[in-house]
Structures are given as C-alpha cells and as structure tokens.
Structure 1
C-alpha cells in the first residue's frame, strides 16, 4: 500500500509530465506568454507609480530633465562600482544586508568556509575513497535556482574512482550566506568567489564541471528559436509576477518531472528561514539573462531613455543594467573562446572541453551547437551520443548522474 509521500510523488510526476508535454507546443507557449505579459506589466506599473507621480514635474522643464539624467547616471555608476569592487574582492557587505545560512539541510557533508567580500561561502570538500598518484581534482559549479546538492550523486561516483571534489555554493544559494539587495548580487561576485576558492585550497591542474549559470555564457535571442525563447519569457514573467512565492519545486519538476518530493524538499531547505529574503539571488539571476536584442541595450545611452529611467526610478532598472553589462561580457567571452584576442589569457584557454546536454531539455537544446561553435571543435571532446544524454532534461545531474560522472572521467583521461 502506497504511503502519503509515495502517492504525492505519483500525482506530481503525472501532473508535471502532462504540463511538460503540453508546453512542447509552441502555440501553447505563446498563449501562456501573452496572458502573463499584461499581469507582469501591471505589477511593474504599480511598483513605479509612486515615484513616477512624485517626479512628474521634472519632465516639464529642461533643468528637471537634466536632473533625471544625472540621477540615472549616478545610480548606474553606483552599481558599476559595486560590481568592480566585488570583482577585485575589495567590496564589503553590510551585515544587515546579508542573511546567514539557517543550518538546515538534509545533506550532511563536510563543508569548508571561504570568506568572500566579508561574508561566508561554503564549499563541499570530499576526498577520494582510494588514493592514487594519478588522482585528479574537480570543481563543481551549480546554476540557478539550484545549489551544490544537485551534484551529490555525481560526487559519490567521482570519489569512488579516486577524485578529490570541491562543490561551491554560490553566495545567495544553498548553504552560503545570502545577500538580500539586488544591486549587491552580481556575476562579478561569482567570478571572484571562484578565484577565492582556487586560492584558498591552492588548486592546480584541476577540472571544472559547470551547469547553467555556473558554466557558460548565456544564450542570446539570435542563438535560439522562438519556441525556446518563449519558454524563457514564461519563466521571466512568472518569476516577475510571483517573485519568491513561486515554489522552487515547480521549476525543478518542470525541468526534471521525475524528481521526488524528498529531493524537492532538500533543494528548498536552505531557504526556509525567510522566503522573501533568502531567495534574492535566485530572483536576481532569473532576471539578468541578456535575453533582449542588443539595440535595446544600446538605446540606454540616449538622453530620452535616461530621462525616462530617472523619472521611473533608476533602481527599477537594476536588472536591465546587469543585462546590458552581461551582454557586453558575453560578446567578449565568445571572442575569447574563439581566439580573437592575442593576449596571455586567450592563450590560457582550456585545451579540452566536453559539452553535455539532456536530450529532453525543454529550454536550451539549440544552444549546444552554439557552444561548440564558439569554444572550437578542436577543443571539444565528444563522448558517446555526441554529447546528448538520452532521458535527461535541463537537470541531467538528477537523471543521469552515473553517465555524467563517467563523462567527466573520460574527459580527464582524454
């Protein structure tokens, strides 16, 4: 006789299998996006209405419009300075703007603390079960909205065959401390975090396995078809409307419909102390993918745009600012991988890379050939099935952990 949890598993798996199947239809994706758009816009209008009403008189005079432009530039400079200081490690968080980890997790592993910008990053460190002169080190990087828990079964496989493994919880995720203010949550903070981990553990000649935000430059509109682009906008509008009220398990189950209730709860455990604050980084990274055409980012430099931004409140454009910055970084990174820059950093590009995608990924399967193109075919080590993992979606670590661990081992031996 099935217990309550088992029945819940069966019901939820069937529900999300049905939902995933329905959203294979481009038409249904379009209809859902169209219906979510006005609700999202209404929510944004409500949020900016008080400040827009108060600043309306400034639109009527040249001096007032000049003030609005100045306020826009000051705020953009403020955010750019935060990102720059986080990148070089000189930034320091104010304790009041950070929530420490609540200590809750159903995954009891050894965790080390690395200080980054005055707050704590936690790194799961697992040593190999067997020692060998040929033992290798691997660093695992998770994406959004997950944390290092997503690598748990792969870690077991890797340590069993002699790997030493480090799995980072990015700041704002999992067991690491959680900044609560959007402007203080940046991709540059992730970059510095990785460098600090490498320095503290004195890592050399190691491999990186990375997923989603942890691993690659984001897809741009020109990289994917409308079918997959629509799913991104459904995600963008849904998170913009519901914010932290959107259950993490909903996203996880859509991407991997066979996930269990127990596993879904484990993903949510580190965020249970304060739903609205602990998920700030999840929300931030949900909205800073540079998914708009470049011409929109380009017109931000015009006076008309800067007047409107100042009128509606520059702080309401914080995600767009981050998108524009990442769009520029995206162009640079693609050029770096393609060898367009003749500098020592370009010459230090990895000699071999393996790209794996779940064949049933509902979001980004079209991005696989884009990555291969920019990274360079000569660097790409192709596993069986050409890098496709049958029976896996956007979270293949939940569905094909053994296969992924074997691919990591294959890459390190190539």
Structure 2
C-alpha cells in the first residue's frame, strides 16, 4: 500500500479559501504514518468549534462558514479527514475502516485541541463526530448536526443504496460533479475544480470510494455495536443540541427529527428544515448554519 501526498499545485488559487495550512503526523496503523491537514482560524484563546466534513468533501466545504464564526469569537478548527483534502491518502480501499477513521480523528483532536469544544458536523462528519460525543460527552460544549445520523443497522433507503453502489463501481466518479449535483444551488467551475483538486487519479479516491460501504445501515455490519454503545452517551447529552437539515436532501430526510427526539439536549431547541438546501448544506445555507452554531454556543454559555 502507498500513502499518497497531495500536490500543492492542485490547490493554487482556490476561490474564497485564504486560510493557512496546519499539519500533524498521526499513526495510521499497520506501521504506516501520515499527515493530516487542518484549518485553525481565530484566536488560540477563543472557545473552539470543530467543523467535521463528510463524503467526499474536504475543509473547502466550510470556507463560507469560517469567517462569521471567527468574527463571532470562535477558534475554528476544520480538519481534512485522512483520504480527503490535503491530508495523506492510503491508496488501498480495504485499509479504510470506521474505527480507523475515529482513531485518526481522535489523534488529531488530542494533538491539536483536547479541551471541550463545540461541534458542527455533516454527513460522515456526524458519523464520526456524534460517535465521539456519545463516547466522551463531557468533551463537547454543544452540537449542531446537519444531514447526518449515527446509524445502528436496520433497512437502508433506496437512495442510499444507489449511492453506495455508485461509489463502489461507477467508472465516472468525479468528485466535483458529485458535490454540484448534491447542492440546491449551482457551483461555479472554480468551485467544482476545488472539490476535484484532492483527487487527481483513481488511487487518490480510495477513501472516497470506501466511505459509503462503511456506513453501518444493515444488521451485522462493523460499527453497529460501537454506535449502540455511543448512543447511550449521545442520548443523555444534556447540553444544547440543534438540528438544521436540508429540505432537498434525499438521503437524510427525517433523520433530523429522529435525532431531536432521542437526544436530551435537543429538547426545546429551534430545530429547522432549511429550504433550498441540499445534502451539502454548507454550500447552500452557510449563513444560517453559522448563525445556528453561534446561537447554540451562546445558549451553552461558551460564547459571549
């Protein structure tokens, strides 16, 4: 197996992405090490908020949310998951597992910001982030979740099954075009190119190919027992928990309501379904999402 590194030239002149690079080295497992890239904006003394991206995006997805969050007084930290963005990419699909992704993200957190933090998570950012909240609820001050869930088996939707098969076998796996199709507003050519930048060839897409098949949506899959245990802590999470889901997302429809009903801290919160908002809500409704994070953190007492 090779550990692929990103070509800096592919990330030149990204639109609305003026942020400084930050890097740490982590243990990938089986004797391999790799570098994770992350954004770290705002004062180091400010209350931290994590922005966790999902499949098949990277921290570029948060470029419109970061400035208002920094202006509100946050320290904003947005990692590129292993296999995505500027982070290193193992080229073996089988090397990627749910547990490894959790381990890699926890290593990043311990090295960069171990203190309690707010969380915004979407898609696989929620499968990772919500599990981390459930496992260590005291380390999170509040949560805003969008177009995500913490699954424990069951019967997957036809829309998700179609996506899983497409990611596994389609020869036309163009990341930028996928992002564009999963938003309710049109992306520019420069934005589409920015989403393609981390993935110059088929080996670099191993992580993106792997993710859909790792979602534990069917009984017997790896990750179900871990998520069931995490749900104990997540359901009892009593700090502010807000759901803001996209009205035009065919994959996660209804899951926001399910989260709001099961999590203690979600009671009485102003949950919303955002109109003209697809799966990649950060592109369609960045201002509303950022304000939701700000309001939820203020309710939690961690932001003035």
Instruction: Specify the alignment match of 1:208 in structure 2.
Output: 119
* Separation in structure 2 between the aligned mates of residue 326 and residue 156 of structure 1, nearest angstrom: 35
Q: Tell whether the 8 Å contact from 1:223 to 1:367 is kept in structure 2 after alignment.
A: no
Paired with 2:203 and 2:294, the residues of 1 have a C-alpha distance of 39
In 2, the alpha carbon distance for the partners of 1:381 and 1:188 equals 33
- Distance in 2 between residues matched to 1:167 and 1:374, nearest whole Å: 27
Question: Which residue number in structure 2 is paired with residue 99 of structure 1?
Answer: 4
Q: Distance in 1 between matches of 2:110 and 2:214?
A: 28
The alignment covers a number of residue pairs equal to 267
Whether 1:394 aligns to 2:274 is: no
CA–CA distance in structure 1, aligned partners of residues 111 and 216 of structure 2: 32
Give distance in 1, aligned partners of 2:162 and 2:106.
34
Structure 1 contact 138–166 (Cα < 8 Å) conserved:
yes
SS in 1 for 2:64: helix
- Give 1:262 shift: 1.7
Alignment of 1:111-260 (within 5 A): 111-117=21-27, 118-128=33-43, 135-216=46-127, 217-219=149-151, 222=154, 229-243=157-171, 245-257=172-184, 258-260=186-188
Deviation at 1:221, TM superposition (A): 6.5
Stretches of 4+ aligned residues off by more than 3 angstroms: 216-224, 378-381
Out of 202, 205, 211, the residue aligned to residue 279 of structure 1 is 205
- Please, what TM-score do these two structures have when normalized by structure 2? 0.80
Alpha-carbon RMSD across the aligned residues, in angstroms, is: 2.2
Secondary structure at 2:198's aligned position in 1? Answer: helix
* Residue number in structure 1 paired with 2:193: 265
TM-score in terms of structure 1 length: 0.60
Contact 2:4/2:90 (8 A) holds in 1: yes
Aligned to 1:402, what secondary structure does the other structure show? helix
1:24-103 paired onto structure 2 within 5 Å:
97-103=2-8
What's the CA shift for 1:352?
A: 2.1
- Give the unaligned 5+ runs of structure 2: 28-32, 128-148, 300-304
Shift of 1:381: 5.8
Alpha-carbon separation, structure 2, partners of 1:188 and 1:234: 24
Structure 1 stretch displaced more, 116-125 or 180-189: 180-189
TM-superposed CA distance for 1:259, in Å, is: 2.1
Deviations 1:166-185 (A, max 9, x none): 10000000000001112321
Determine which structure has more spread, i.e. the larger CA radius of gyration.
1
The answer to which structure has the higher strand fraction is 2
